Structure 1
Amino acid sequence: MDIFSRKIVGWQVYDSESGQLASDVMFDICQREQIVPNQVVLLSDNGSTMKGATMLATLMALGVTPVFSSPKCSNDNPHNESIFKTTRYRPSYPKNPFVSLMTARQWVGAFVH
């Protein structure tokens, strides 16, 4: 999410988490949004996916500066926390798990739009 405009610049739903998938999403965002090196700072959590070698190498190649949240601090990124809460409290958010990966992707796509 771009903090200035609050635009969701990229999203994806997968059935697993990996550094390669995260790197692919970041590469796609930079290409689609025409982001030039040293234009963007990516604030993320301290998870292994975001701090892994694959993601860090991708960020370095793209000229994106990584910044990580404070350890054991779940509220130091209020903009992202706010969008997550907004998502969960939408009236259309399902009470039960999504029936398929495609259903989850469709719901998130409609939400982002």
Structure 2
Amino acid sequence: MLATLQALGVMTSLSRPGVSNDNPFSESLFKTLKYRPAYLLQPFDTPFAARTWVTELVRWYNHEHRHSAIHFVTPAQRHANLDQDILVRRAALYESARQRHPLRW
């Protein structure tokens, strides 16, 4: 298997041998993708269809999906350093709502 991967130009994992779930970040990504309504249950008709589907999925994941581990901002917002401003504005909005309707909190 290693020789086949190397012949295909695939870089093998440097993780612990025999551990299939050693990357929690990729495992989390796979779970998120599998539980989306857009997850396909049928094989792709063409490689182009697969690339198109994955490209849209990656765009959604990075630019629309708000991640709980990074306080419900998108990875693109976090990468562009926009998250701090968003979180400050969000906290101010919540505080304003809390003062207007204290019984709801």
Larger Rg: 2
**TM range, normalised to the smaller chain?**
0.3 to 0.5
Greater relative CO, 1 or 2 (CA 8 Å, sep 6+): 1
Greater fraction of residues in strand: 1
Greater fraction of residues in helix: 2
Q: Normalising to structure 1: TM-score of the pair?
A: 0.42
